[in-house]
């Protein structure tokens, strides 16, 4: 490897560790360590939230899936873009206000327990366990991605050693600086990711002779490979609805929700919303282009055939690395080092946030609750740091196997968080009748539905251990989990006693403050959200079961609707526009 590539890459890690050391003495208290004392500016909050959200999936998972399957995979990106905006528009400001009034809550589980005090202990423990388990696995998947990335950059190294090096760096700056260090590093990493994701598709198109030549090459490939399509709607309604359903996950992501809670001024949320939405739309669009143009480039390089046969040693998810190595590793090694650093930034910006949230689930939400208020902030911070190390060690142990499944675990955890916490987040913020028993019912229903649906109803893989004549749907488990959890919260809350007067008073105070500052979304929005999500879910299921046992992917053409871009645009406009009626 060229020396300047190594210098640029190592310099990035030095800066990251330096940021952690800078904030070391500035994070001695719990509110500083876990929430930056609610003092972050809107730009840092916006880029930190989105960088910690996207992870290596932005530069590896999404381009790799599009490279193999075509534009049908873009529906997931569309769903995430819609979900990003809606979460900022609907949840962010009200959660910022409510979490402060709810006994100055600094985590999502502490907010829920303070919002529903009559069952606060059960809710706190339940949320803490779910967060701890899912995020430990989530961090492990990031360590695997980081290890494989470093192995591709340093092929002479050993996977286990490189994975542990990457994990150690994440542990160091998370351990030292806490939430403020994580947010500031994520801010710069978000900028670096944006630059990298924009450069690669342009460079690949240039290598192919320009955009028109790249488009011609893709048309030729789509005619040769039956699994690769340039048609948005040929993937079928099930894939479209499941892709859009990914956006629902944003309402329940703990590591994103704490960003909403950390902004200095709630009225600046609109700035964060605009910055975050612009970043997400540009990043997702360019990531999709990496997959599409990367397919044509990979064919030209002999990495994959016109018919879709992948050559030995080529991993479609590493198209970013293949491109950088081929184009600049020798000619412009410093640029290659910076772009490789951007890829590691994508991985690290997520794992650091997840480590911090998982440690807070144990130290603040469980340990502090049972030890009482006499424990000092300094001691709690050190307990949190120790827990970070323990969680990271467990995650690293899981990640020792380079063949560990990444995408399945991430998809499962995203669905689990979205279904368990998303409906409760919305209803706790906008429906004062929600009570503690309804909250518990919603968390458990969402979690259990995701587990069962993923096991029996989505993939179609049923082991011999279970004797079941149940057809599978192919629907992403987040959608049924979200719908059923939403229903469970409403039904159980209505069938049980009303919240106490203190809860009503707190809700009214939050409502009044949000209305005073110009933010007003009421019960009509909540009802509309539930109706739209339920309609999409049941339409998908009905279409799925209408296929005579041959599977559950039916294209729009089979419903006598003309295929093409205008229909896709109209569908998206209808879906998004409905939320603002």
CATH numbers and ranges of domains, the chain: 3-14+92-400+407-580 (1.20.1730.10)
263, β-bridge pairs: 40
End-to-end CA distance of the chain: 56
Instruction: Output the CA–CA distances (angstroms, integers) from residue 351 to 88, 141, 224, 454, 528, in the order listed.
Output: 22, 9, 39, 24, 34
Contact present, 418 and 248 (Cβ < 8 Å): yes
Q: Cβ-count burial of 182 within 10 angstroms (0-12 exposed, 13-18 middle, 19+ buried)? A: buried
Q: What is the Cα–Cα distance from 550 to 494, expressed in whole angstroms? A: 41
Considering only 148-152, 164-168, 267-271, 523-527, which range has the smallest mean pLDDT? 523-527
Considering only 100-109, 216-225, 517-526, which range has the smallest mean pLDDT? 517-526
Report, as an integer, the average pLDDT of 282-310: 91
Residue 106 dihedral angles phi and psi, to the nearest 5°? -115, 0
Structure tokens at 500: 């106490």
Residue 263 dihedral angles phi and psi, to the nearest 5°? -70, 145
Residue 486's nearest CA partner among 546, 415, 534 is: 534
SS (H, E, C) 5-41: HHHHHHHHHHHHHHHHHHCHHHCCCHHHHHHHHHCEC
Contact present, 148 and 381 (Cβ < 8 Å): no
Statement: residue 565 has pLDDT above 80: no
Q: What is the Cα–Cα distance from 208 to 197, expressed in whole angstroms? A: 18
Rg (CA), the chain: 23
Cα–Cα–Cα angle for 137, 138, 139, rounded to 5 degrees: 90
Sign of CA dihedral 10, 16, 19, 25: negative
Average pLDDT, the chain: 80
What is the percent of the chain with per-residue pLDDT over 70, rounded to a whole number?
81
Question: Would you state the pLDDT for residue 112?
Answer: 95
Considering only 136-140, 451-455, 558-562, which range has the smallest mean pLDDT? 558-562
Considering only 95-99, 131-135, 181-185, 441-445, which range has the smallest mean pLDDT? 181-185
Question: Would you state the pLDDT for residue 120?
Answer: 86
Instruction: Output the CA–CA distances (angstroms, integers) from residue 247 to 82, 149, 289, 417, 533, in the order listed.
Output: 6, 27, 20, 12, 11
Q: What is the Cα–Cα distance from 344 to 185, expressed in whole angstroms? A: 12
Question: Would you state the pLDDT for residue 461?
Answer: 38
Residue 217's nearest CA partner among 147, 301, 95 is: 301
Specify the 3-state DSSP secondary structure of 304: strand
| pLDDT bucket at 505, cuts 50 / 70 / 90 | very high
Q: What is the Cα–Cα distance from 276 to 265, expressed in whole angstroms? A: 16
Structure tokens at 525: 């929005």
What is the percent of the chain with per-residue pLDDT over 90, rounded to a whole number?
31
Q: What is the Cα–Cα distance from 439 to 423, expressed in whole angstroms? A: 9
Question: Would you state the pLDDT for residue 576?
Answer: 43
Question: Would you state the pLDDT for residue 176?
Answer: 67
Instruction: Output the CA–CA distances (angstroms, integers) from residue 173 to 15, 417, 429, in the order listed.
Output: 10, 26, 33
Q: What is the Cα–Cα distance from 29 to 276, expressed in whole angstroms? A: 28
Statement: residue 556 has pLDDT above 70: no
Q: What is the Cα–Cα distance from 211 to 490, expressed in whole angstroms? A: 51
Statement: residue 523 has pLDDT above 70: no
Query: What pTM did the predictor assign?
Result: 0.82
| pLDDT bucket at 252, cuts 50 / 70 / 90 | very high
Q: Which of 9-18, 276-285, 299-308, 317-326 has the highest mean pLDDT?
A: 276-285
Residue 331's nearest CA partner among 208, 207, 210 is: 207
Question: Would you state the pLDDT for residue 445?
Answer: 96
| pLDDT bucket at 561, cuts 50 / 70 / 90 | very low
Q: What is the Cα–Cα distance from 164 to 395, expressed in whole angstroms? A: 10
Span 412-457, pLDDT tens digits:
888 999 999 999 999 999 999 999 999 999 999 999 999 898 887 7
229, β-bridge pairs: 70
Question: Would you state the pLDDT for residue 250?
Answer: 94
Q: What is the Cα–Cα distance from 74 to 284, expressed in whole angstroms? A: 9
Considering only 237-241, 268-272, 468-472, which range has the smallest mean pLDDT? 468-472
Contact present, 175 and 391 (Cβ < 8 Å): no
Report, as an integer, the average pLDDT of 561-579: 41
Statement: residue 298 has pLDDT above 70: yes
Cα 70 to its chain centre, rounded Å, is 22
């Amino acid at each position: 490897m060229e020396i300047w590539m190594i210098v640029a890459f190592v310099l990035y890690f030095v800066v990251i560790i330096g940021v952690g050391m800078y904030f070391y003495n500035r994070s001695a208290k719990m509110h500083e360590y876990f929430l930056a004392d609610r003092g972050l500016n809107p730009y840092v909050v916006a880029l930190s939230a989105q960088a910690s959200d996207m992870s290596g999936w932005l530069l590896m998972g999404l381009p790799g899936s599009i490279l193999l399957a075509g534009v049908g995979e873009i529906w997931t990106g569309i769903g995430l873009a819609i979900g990003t905006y809606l979460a900022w528009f609907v949840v962010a400001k009200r959660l910022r206000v409510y979490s402060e009034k709810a006994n100055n809550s600094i985590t999502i589980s502490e907010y829920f327990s303070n919002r529903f005090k009559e069952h606060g202990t059960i809710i706190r423990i339940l949320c803490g366990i779910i967060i701890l388990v899912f995020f430990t696995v989530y961090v492990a998947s990031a360590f695997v991605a980081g290890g494989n990335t470093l192995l591709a950059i340093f092929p002479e190294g050993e996977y286990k050693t490189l994975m542990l090096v990457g994990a150690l760096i994440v542990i160091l700056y998370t351990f030292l600086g806490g939430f403020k260090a994580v947010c500031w590093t994520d801010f710069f990493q978000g900028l670096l990711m944006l630059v990298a994701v924009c450069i690669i598709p342009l460079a690949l198109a240039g290598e192919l002779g320009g955009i028109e030549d790249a488009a011609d090459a893709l048309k030729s490939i789509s005619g040769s490979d039956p699994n690769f399509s340039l048609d948005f709607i040929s993937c079928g309604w099930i894939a479209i609805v499941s892709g859009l359903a990914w956006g629902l996950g944003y309402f329940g992501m703990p590591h994103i929700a704490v960003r909403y809670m950390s902004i200095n001024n709630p009225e600046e949320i609109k700035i964060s919303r605009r910055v975050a939405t612009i970043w997400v739309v540009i990043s997702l669009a360019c990531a999709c282009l990496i997959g599409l143009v990367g397919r044509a480039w990979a064919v030209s390089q002999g990495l994959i055939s016109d018919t879709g046969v992948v050559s030995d040693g080529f991993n479609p998810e590493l198209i970013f690395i293949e491109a950088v190595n081929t184009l600049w590793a020798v000619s412009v090694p410093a640029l290659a080092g910076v772009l490789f650093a951007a890829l590691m930034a994508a991985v690290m910006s997520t794992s650091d946030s997840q480590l911090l949230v998982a440690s807070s689930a144990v130290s603040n939400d469980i340990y502090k609750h049972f030890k009482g208020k006499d424990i000092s902030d300094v001691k709690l911070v050190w307990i949190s740091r120790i827990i970070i190390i323990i969680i990271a060690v467990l995650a690293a142990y899981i990640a020792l196997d380079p063949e560990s499944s990444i995408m399945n675990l991430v998809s499962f955890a995203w669905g689990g968080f979205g279904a368990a916490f998303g409906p409760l987040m919305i209803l706790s913020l906008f429906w004062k009748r929600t009570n503690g028993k309804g909250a518990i019912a919603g968390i458990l229903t969402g979690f259990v539905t995701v587990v069962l649906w993923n096991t029996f109803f989505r993939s179609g893989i049923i082991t011999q251990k279970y004797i079941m004549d149940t057809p599978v749907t192919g629907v992403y488990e987040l959608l049924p989990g979200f719908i059923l959890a939403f229903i469970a919260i409403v039904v159980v809350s209505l069938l049980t006693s009303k919240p106490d007067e203190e809860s009503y008073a707190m809700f009214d105070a939050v409502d009044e403050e949000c209305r005073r500052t110009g933010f007003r979304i009421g019960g009509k929005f909540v009802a509309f959200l539930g109706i739209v999500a339920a309609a999409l879910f049941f339409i998908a299921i009905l279409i799925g079961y209408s296929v005579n046992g041959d599977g559950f992917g039916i294209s729009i053409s089979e419903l006598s609707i003309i295929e093409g871009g205008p229909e896709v645009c109209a569908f998206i406009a209808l879906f998004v526009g409905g939320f603002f009626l």
